[in-house]
Amino acid sequence: MKALNVLFAAMTLTLAAGVAQADVRPDHIPDLLKSGQIKPFEQLNQIAIQQHPGATITDTELDKKLGKLVYEVELRDSKNIEWDVKIDAATGEVLENKQDT
């Protein structure tokens, strides 16, 4: 019985983590853009590049984290250093700007 409780608790935590952070389905993106719920990706990319002028974008992702749409950008600068920049997709506010480790 204890093993079942432990298994149930582990499954609940795993599911909760998935709900807290989930990729936005690509087919939902056009509606989010059209409704103005998120800024155009070109604009969000420019915000990320402004944090590291001359850097190249290597990957992007739109996630929903704790009810907020977050645009995640991975960059590589001229010194070959990788950066992770997280931007509020609705406002353009930089939420996080850190070196990728």
The structural domains of the chain, with segments of one domain joined by +, span 23-99
How would CATH label the architecture of 23-99?
Roll (3.10)
Tens of pLDDT along the chain (101 residues) come to 454 443 343 344 333 333 345 689 999 999 999 999 999 999 999 999 999 999 999 999 999 998 899 999 999 999 999 999 999 999 999 999 999 88
Q: Dmax over Cα atoms in the chain, in whole Å?
A: 58
pLDDT of residue 84: 98
Nearest 5 degrees, angle CA 13-CA 62-CA 89? 110
CA torsion through residues 28, 62, 68, 35, sign: negative
pLDDT of residue 5: 41
pLDDT of residue 8: 40
Q: Are 42 and 50 in contact (CB under 8 A)?
A: no
Burial state string for 73-82 with b = 16 or more CB within 10 A and e = fewer than 16: bbbbeeeeee
